[in-house]
Structure 1
Amino acid sequence: MRLSRMGLLLVAALSAGAQAREYHYSDAHLHYVDFFQETAGMDELFSKMAEGRIDHVMLSGIPVAKKWHEDEPKRPRYYAGDDAGAYWFSATDTFIASAYKRLPAEQRERFHPFLSGINPNDKNADALVRQMLELDPGLWQGIGEIFTRHDDLTSLIDGETPRADNEALARIYHLAAEYDLPVMLHSNITSKREDNPLYLEEVETALRNHPNVRFIWAHAGTSKEIHRHQKKLDFLLPTITRMLEQYPNLYIDLSWTVLHPYLLDADGNPDPEWVQLVSSYPARFMLGSDVVGRFDNVGKIMSEFDPFLDALPEAVAQQVARDNFLAVLPRKVQAEVAGQEGR
């Protein structure tokens, strides 16, 4: 996709005229706990939301726990800290539900719990998810982040490599459609070595076979390990462009691995082609911090998108920064949010 000279001038003009904007955000990708199921707590999160003008957050756990192996002398600080494995951890949802229920009613309105403690290789998983949904009717507002192909984490998790199009997840998607729940899916578009959309068909099969499910594709299929080895995927923009046209149930999470090197160049300038793409599909993109259990930098991370938002038409920037995430939530939740904000 190439921009005309007029298109480039339009982007520059929009950027120049947007200096006075102040955004409010919805964080569409936030993990309340880290890979050890630990958290800084709701008080810190709520405080940092206020500082960062973050009105709403997607509140999810981490579906795996990192093992501190018997042979490792020091406790790892991250899943990639050593070679010890990780294992599927369904209790993460218990932590999310407990934190959410302890909030005062007026604060709960700003938090949107997603159920994530799912083993995506287990065909029993949908029955377990249904039990969770029935245990707390109305609490869960989405499913995810579901981990499938996920950098080196994939090889550390016990068992087979999950695929976005396997039968176990198909059962989850049917359940999501039944309960009107969006699904956030982490499925890398390729490996860290292959400069082609190696795993794309797995995502497309899920989109094609489940048209009534609103899929949020985490990081647009990118990851830090892919960028570490390949820098920038030239095929990403045309692929996302085609998919948005082909699949009306696809939404894109523009969290941190998309910010650089796609939305902003090395000098921090907005990429005109991505500006045009987002402007062409104004309802299909949302922002996320992807923080895990610690919230000191959540406001800073969200504000780093401002130069890109400034290059968008102001109404589109507001949608991307805040409103699009709310619009993919269950219709009942959307109505409740609209009623709360209309008071």
Structure 2
Amino acid sequence: MNNSRGKPMFARCLGGLLLVGALIDAAQARDYRYSDAHLHYVDFFQESEGMPALLKAMDAARIDQSMISGVSVAKKWHEDEPKRPRYYAGDDADAYWYSATDVYVAAALQKLPAEQRKRFHPFLTGFNPVDKNAVTHIERMLELYPGLWQGIGEVFTRHDDLTALTSGDTPRANNEAMTRIYHLAAEQDMPVLIHSNITSKRERNPLYLAEIEEPLRNHPHTRFIWAHAGTSLEIHRHQTRMDFLLPTLTRLLEDYPNLFVDLSWSVLQPYLLDEQGVPRPQWLALVQRFPERFMLGSDVVGRYGSLGEQLHGFDPFLDALPADVAQKVARDNFLAVLPKAR
């Protein structure tokens, strides 16, 4: 091999090694610390693996802080069912509103040492969102546990099959009972995490958009965290990907500075990442345009084995963002939306 060919080849090899080294350094620099903006201490049967298992999973996944709430409904094991269901969609039996879920969360937190308790940010969720008495329950819980609660939710409103199975009227994010809660949330400086599907399983348009947009417009002093950006697994099963989601979400973020977005698992795919796991440029651009308005959540329910998998699944998307924006999304934005006194 003559020198005229050897030098360029050597330069290419050296350049390749330097590039690999840079990538390794970049990967090491992106060793994220997380906040989990959406975690349920119990499942739909009000059962949990417990705090030791949760703390172990958080430490393993580099999760420093976490929202924590109960689940506002309990799944009935109907006497006609020979086998206990494992999930709310396991059979056709009802789910019903269950207020003791908040007590379970409070009791679990109160058993923790003070340093561990500081890692959790409990949200109230044990109320019926179509009952105008619900605001009274929240007020009572604030009095029973002064200084404990830092937010409200996850509030189940439009939630496809869960809505169909839950006893009583269809909950909406813009009903009168929720209006009273939004006023209280603003008075208490508490964010509201709300699940409100943007559409039904079959309508390829933002059918239920008004239900979330009216509160955003009418309660500018209330901070709203939109769970899953209005998406759900059941919608995806029927529609795959909603083409109208990105432009609709863009407009809402432009119009309502009190809107924050929980990117938990049903947004990751097929929206943030394509079929090959590559970040979608349009979503990267949206997050960079509104770098303080997005946060990550695991949405685990009472079992924590997948906690790290759920949050680390966002790493390819985070890695494609500027480092400062990625850290805001991974950790800081959720903490910033909590009551200022905290």
Please give the range of the TM-score, normalised by the shorter of the 2 chains.
over 0.9
2:120 is matched with: 111
Asked if the contact 1:18/1:311 (under 8 Å) is kept, the reply is no
1:135 is matched with: 144
1:3 is matched with: none
| CA distance, structure 1, for counterparts of residue 113 and residue 306 of structure 2 | 24
| CA distance, structure 2, for counterparts of residue 19 and residue 329 of structure 1 | 29
Q: Does 1:289 align with 2:295?
A: no
Tell me the CA shift for residue 109 of structure 1. Answer: 0.9
Tell me the CA shift for residue 297 of structure 1. Answer: 1.0
| CA distance, structure 2, for counterparts of residue 200 and residue 286 of structure 1 | 21
Q: Does 1:191 align with 2:200?
A: yes
Asked if the contact 1:30/1:289 (under 8 Å) is kept, the reply is yes
Kindly provide the CA deviation profile for residues 145-175 of structure 1, in whole angstroms up to 9, marking residues without a partner as x. Answer: 0000001010111111001000000000001
Tell me the CA shift for residue 17 of structure 1. Answer: 5.4
Kindly provide the CA deviation profile for residues 60-80 of structure 1, in whole angstroms up to 9, marking residues without a partner as x. Answer: 000000000010000000000
Question: Which of these residues, 242, 245, 255, is aligned with residue 233 of structure 1?
Answer: 242
2:111 is matched with: 102
Asked if the contact 1:40/1:293 (under 8 Å) is kept, the reply is yes
CA RMSD of aligned residues (A): 1.4
Q: Does 1:311 align with 2:320?
A: yes
4+ residue runs over 6 A deviation? none
| CA distance, structure 2, for counterparts of residue 203 and residue 318 of structure 1 | 28
Question: Which of these residues, 54, 66, 73, is aligned with residue 57 of structure 1?
Answer: 66
Residue type at the aligned position of 1:256: W
**What secondary structure does 1:257 align onto?**
coil
Larger radius of gyration: 2
1:82 is matched with: 91
Identity of aligned residues (%): 70
Larger RCO (alpha carbons 8 Å, 6+ apart): 1
Asked if the contact 1:214/1:250 (under 8 Å) is kept, the reply is yes
Q: Does 1:223 align with 2:223?
A: no
Asked if the contact 1:35/1:65 (under 8 Å) is kept, the reply is yes
Kindly provide the CA deviation profile for residues 7-61 of structure 1, in whole angstroms up to 9, marking residues without a partner as x. Answer: xxxxxx99x9557411010000000000000000000000010000000110000
| TM value normalised by structure 2 | 0.92
Kindly provide the CA deviation profile for residues 207-235 of structure 1, in whole angstroms up to 9, marking residues without a partner as x. Answer: 01110000000000000000011000000
**What secondary structure does 1:252 align onto?**
strand
| CA distance, structure 1, for counterparts of residue 43 and residue 57 of structure 2 | 17
Asked if the contact 1:19/1:310 (under 8 Å) is kept, the reply is no
Q: Does 1:170 align with 2:175?
A: no
Q: Does 1:150 align with 2:137?
A: no
Residue type at the aligned position of 2:300: V
**What secondary structure does 1:216 align onto?**
strand
Structure 2: any 5+ residue segments left out of the alignment?
A: 1-21
Kindly provide the CA deviation profile for residues 154-204 of structure 1, in whole angstroms up to 9, marking residues without a partner as x. Answer: 011111100100000000000101111000000000000100000000100
Q: Does 1:40 align with 2:49?
A: yes
Residue type at the aligned position of 1:252: V
1:255 is matched with: 264
2:251 is matched with: 242
**What secondary structure does 1:233 align onto?**
coil
